[in-house]
Amino acid sequence: MDRLCIHTATTRPLSLDLALEVYAEAGVTGITVWRDALAGRDPQTAGRRIASAGLAPVSLCRGGFFVSPEEAVRKRAILDNETALREAAEIGAPLVVLVCGADTAVPLPAARDQIAAGIQSLLPLAEDLNVKLAIEPLHPMYADTRSAVNTMRSANDLCERIAHPMVGVAVDVYHLWWDPELESEIARCGDRVLAFHVCDWRSPTRDLLTDRGLMGEGCIPIRRIRSWVEATGFDGFIEVEIFSTEYWAQDQRSYVDRIVSAYREHV
């Protein structure tokens, strides 16, 4: 339990304050804060609340979306990412997770160039604030509009191209479990693995965004992938990130208890 973290998006109906209360009661020790949970709030105050609830702020989700055919849009994205870095620092989180972006008007290789340039422009501020950036490769079903980085290999290539100690990778089993190169590419990532996200892949999946399963409900070999991640030396939080209209409609306290049981049994 000392490594269990829940994303606020997992319990989306709960306000940040209520999430803190429910997580702490269930024995959860980490929280990853989605930016919508901070909307209209002072991040520093939110950070103090997180600390006084006894939870560790694990990361801020999410920055990114660096890709656009229009330069003005790309510039706005950089500004927004700078805001995300400051918010992360203010809540005490050491990491911003990046959904890197994609646009059907930009070919994927050019999109990766824009992503590299976007991340590079954030490095001075990331260093100043001591907040790292985690590239999260997304499942290829999102390569049209969400991310041009779709495998661990692609994320590793991008890391090596940027070659900066503030940049690493968030490994999410939902996006990566199918990849025949996953074990070797996690090993290649090494100490650049900055985060580990878990849930399960329901079969059939009824919605491409909001039908993730609780760990144990699907076909992802979570324990095996965890062993590969930990073989790199990673000993950070294991983050439960489940987007599910089905679970959001249920009582969130008992849902968090189910998350804790699923974590114990299947992760």
Binding residues for Zn ion (CB under 5 A): 172, 197, 241
In the complex with Zn ion, the residue whose CB is nearer, 19 or 58, is 58
Beta partners for residue 71, in sequence order: none
Closer CB to Zn ion, 87 or 241, in the complex: 241
Task: Write the CA distances from 198 to 174, 176, 180, 263, integer angstroms.
Answer: 7, 11, 18, 9
CA distance 96 to 37: 15
CB of 176 to Zn ion, least distance (A): 10
All residues at 6 or more sequence positions from 194 whose CB lies less than 8 Å from its CB, including other chains: 95, 132, 134, 168, 169, 170, 236
Minimum CB separation from Zn ion for residue 177, in Å? 12
- In whole angstroms, the minimum distance from the beta carbon of 75 to Zn ion comes to 26
Measured from the CB atom, is 62 or 112 closer to Zn ion? 62
Residue 71: CB minimum distance to Zn ion, A: 29
Backbone angles phi, psi at 263, to 5 degrees: -60, -45
Residue whose CB is less far from Zn ion, 92 or 137: 137
Smallest distance from the beta carbon of 252 to Zn ion, in angstroms? 20
Q: Please state the length of the chain.
A: 267
Nearer to Zn ion among residue 172 and residue 200 (C-beta): 172
Question: Is the link from the previous residue into 86 a cis peptide, with omega within 30 of 0?
Answer: no
